[in-house]
Amino acid sequence: MLRTTLAGLRAHKLRLLLTSLAITLGVGFIAGTFVLTDTIEVGFRQKFTADAAKISVAVFPKAEQNAQELPFIPAETLTKIRAVPGVTDAQGLVSGPTPLLGKDGKAAGNFPTTGLSVPSGPLNRVVLTSGVAPAKPTDAIMDDNTAQTRQFAIGATITVLDAKGAKNDFTLVGLFDTGVDQQLGYTGAIGYTTDTAQRMIDAKGFREVDVAGADGADPAQLRDAVAAAIGAGYEVKTGSEYADELALQSNVDTGYLTLMLLLFGVIAMFVAALVIYNTFNILVAQRTREMALLRCIGATRAQIFGSILLESVVVAVLSSGLGLLLGLGLGAGAMAALGVLDAPVPVGAAIALTPRTIILAVVIGLVVTVGAALLPARAATRVAPIAALRSQVEEQTFKAGLVRTVFATLFLLAGTGLTVAGVTTGGSQESLIIIMAGGGVFFLGVLVISPVLMRPLASFVGWLPRRLFGVPGKLSVDNARRNPKRAATTTVALTIGVTLMTLISVITATTRATVKAQLDAQFPVDYMISDQRGGDSLVPRALADQLRQRPEVGSVIEMRRADARLAGPDAALDTSRYQVGNFPIAPDFRPQATTGSFGDLVAGTAALNDDVSRDLGRKVGDTLQLTTKEAGPVTLKIVATFDRESTDQAPITLPDADFERYFGRLDNAGVYVNAKDGVASDVARRAVEAVAQPYPTALVVSATELRGEFDDALDMMLMIFGGLLGLAILISILGIANTLSLSVHERTHESALLRALGLTRPQLRHMLSLEALLLGLIGALIGITLGTVFGWAAMQTFPFEVLFRAPVDQILVFLVLSGLAGVLAALLPARRASRASIVDALAST
């Protein structure tokens, strides 16, 4: 039997290759995921280990619980560290925002450039790519990306704002690589000498102190000595401990990336398992006479079962080996792509192929392939020896048995119940998990019941082809209905891909519509102006006054903020400090109240957002006491509550005049601007930017551009997920092609009879293409229905009201592409069937 099985495999090399291709792709994706993430992890560790080699000990301030700001290490502590025996050098590090001015005089980027100290000597961990490190107070270095983006070269004079907003000029003496520091890569960075960095940032001490020990000194002993010298209130670590901690932190992102990619890999493997199952099912049906003959000459049921499993093992080993090679290529390609995109990952590291990846690739390939072949192998043992005497193989008929019906009903009811439970308890992450579980269970029910659905769905989808394409159309519909079990397992692979694509499209479209509506409600303006430095930085009132004088500007809305403590019975609450804001006076600023009315917001009153109202147990008509900076304790009557998601108002909102009387004449936290009616957007934008030009850190953001950036982010997400799910869809297309190829072989006698009865070669090709088209459309219809329903259910878990949208245009594209995929999958099988000799085909049976 062993020789017979191996001989059969050698005789059908193409069949072996087609069978293994689906598993190869699935294993390759999973192996590629591990290769990519292992390579990133090794690169991070190499980077951190290299940095740790320069440090013997690192000292950090210990943050207190609920502290508003991170503490500093005072200069006195640095002096104590330098005095510890065995310490050869100790350098304090500082970092903080120091906005870089571009060549237009405005602060570069949407966030302040990070300023950092560059220590001299061996403790310098900054990797210069060109030039030299800063040595004088007027020297500075810049990261490569910022220099390229802002068009600065070594030798140029750059202008940077210090903590007080004053301009400081520096000579650019070097460029450096931010490495794996994602924050620096995002904001850009400028390096100074330590003294200059402290002055620019207005640092009251150091964020970190790096210590170098004498050659041969034990880092652990030096750590203990430093800790004893500086006392409590600090975290002291050896360089290797610090490197391990940084590497562990980097693995948070890597672990999430691994989980996300493996999810798509599991989907691909599930689809591949369905394809393998269907393939072996057809192979067993085709070889009924062959196995019956083996039974006639003495082969036992166990030997027949073993021969099928042996074939699946050979396919699994071949697929796993090819998948591993494919995974190496995918991992290397992904690393190269990340390098081109300047992603914050360590590039240049050698591709990591760990024993775990090799073992997993082989085990996954074996388990999935052999597991998918078990049921077909069991069916092969039921072939009776008498089947060898039949002139042709009888096609199996399908009947929906009681067991199938019961299991399908149980799965469908359980999936529906879980989904309803998730929707009715929406608003939490647990609800989303329940709905995902419900979707999985419901899909199992669809998988079990799908053969029953094939005949009516084939009749429905095939109504038009039957009437348009004559005899080929009628035959294709009959073929799709004739073996519903095989048709179901063929289409379910495509159904999975279309379901997930539709699900993601529905979630994306709904999120886009919901967020757009919220942005329109929160920012009913054309432009928003804020200080680039964020935090407590403010926009001068003079800017708003100048905007009102521009003829291109319609309305200007000034938003102010201040902190206040609750007074009276609420003063003892832990959350007694709240942000208070003004209610701007503007004709087109009309936020909606949940209860009460903003029209009643007059002197001595206040409006609360729903969260504060709930926390304090206050409603419209109650009173609230605040301790204010200028007026001391005041009592306010609550006249309105509002949803914090629907407007950008402060949690406690006061009339504009009251706010100024209670807190003084403050500058603005933000300024909202509307263009005058009839003024073109580009004209209004130039007018607003012209007014903001003298204020370097005044950042002008267009609300339209903000929405556009959000749309771009959603489109990017849809493209990424679509590309990842494309693997599952590709495998399903291969499954359709494989099924049709084997089906053509199975129906050789039938095709020859049709040709003999007058069916032309083009008609035969059309018949098979239409059959594949029907299978693709049936899979797509089921997938679109499931994806839309569960997309709606998933969106109900959001903690706010959503505007459900089903992107009809995208869904129609999925439907068309699924049908086209079926037709493409049928090209080679149809060509092979049409070229077969009628006489040889009839004689072969």
Tokens encoding 345: 């990952």
How many whole angstroms separate alpha carbon 234 and alpha carbon 231? 7
Confirm if 637 and 606 have CB atoms less than 8 A apart. Answer: yes
pLDDT score of 620: 93
Residue with tokens 């999975």: 496
What the block records as the tokens of 361 is: 């690739």
Which regions of the chain are under pLDDT 70? 1-19, 45-46, 48-53, 64-69, 179-182, 247-257, 285-289, 340-349, 383-400, 426-428, 521-523, 573-576, 740-749, 836-837, 839-845
* Contact (Cβ atoms closer than 8 angstroms) between residue 481 and residue 455: yes
Q: How far apart are CA 36 and CA 25, in angstroms?
A: 16
Quickly list DSSP for 758-779: T--HHHHHHHHHHHHHHHHHHH
DSSP 693: T
Q: State phi, psi for 710 to the nearest 5 degrees.
A: -65, -40
Residues in the chain, how many?
A: 845
Q: What angle do CA 776, 782, 784 make, to 5 degrees?
A: 95
Q: Is 295 helix (H, G, I), strand (E, B) or coil?
A: helix
Select from 566, 594, 595, 598 the least CA-distant residue to 580. 566
Cα radius of gyration rounded to whole Å, the chain:
35
Assess contact for 323 and 25: CB atoms under 8 A: yes
Q: Please state whether beta strands 623-628 and 57-61 pair in parallel, antiparallel, or not at all (unpaired).
A: unpaired
Q: What is the pLDDT of residue 402?
A: 80
Q: Give me the amino acid identity at 523.
A: F
Q: In 747-837, where does DSSP find H-type helix?
A: 748-756, 761-795, 808-835
Predicted local confidence at residue 250, as pLDDT? 57
pLDDT at 369: 86
Cβ–Cβ < 8 Å for 783, 494: yes
**Whole-number pLDDT of residue 398:** 56
Q: Write the pLDDT tens digit of every residue in 268-318.
A: 788 778 777 777 777 776 666 677 777 777 777 787 788 888 888 888 888
**Per-residue pLDDT tens over the stretch 349-361:** 677 788 888 888 8
Look at residue 16 in the predicted model and tell me its pLDDT.
64
